[in-house]
Amino acid sequence: MIIEYIGEIIRSELAEVREKRYEAQNRGIYMFRLDDQRVVDATVTGGLARYINHSCGPNCYTETIEVERDMKILIISNRKILRGEEVSYLYK
């Protein structure tokens, strides 16, 4: 495990509203879909994992787990990551 993707868990409908608001504010949007109903919005209250980039040849993958009824998104390496190498995963 490298890092947890953290932020505010919100309903999909609210995520759509916020996305439009963030776009109108010309702000970067950092959201990660948990499932059909829930999204983690890391735009304002997220951690460093929100800056991990997409890659077609990623060196990490994501795993969603439940811990004491809370959903967690983990970023996990799928191979050794070299010093100075960018961490990336394939967005779903």
**pLDDT for residue 48:** 95
Q: Residue 75 contacts by C-beta under 8 Å, 6 or more apart in sequence?
A: 1, 2, 3, 4, 5, 49, 52, 60, 61, 62, 87, 89
| pLDDT average, residue stretch 8-30 | 97
Q: Give the whole-number percent of the chain exceeding pLDDT 70.
A: 99
Between CA 30 and CA 88, with CA 17 as vertex, the angle to 5 degrees is 15
**pLDDT for residue 90:** 86
CATH class in words for 3-89: mainly beta
**pLDDT for residue 92:** 64
Binning pLDDT at 50, 70 and 90, where does residue 91 land? confident
**pLDDT for residue 62:** 94
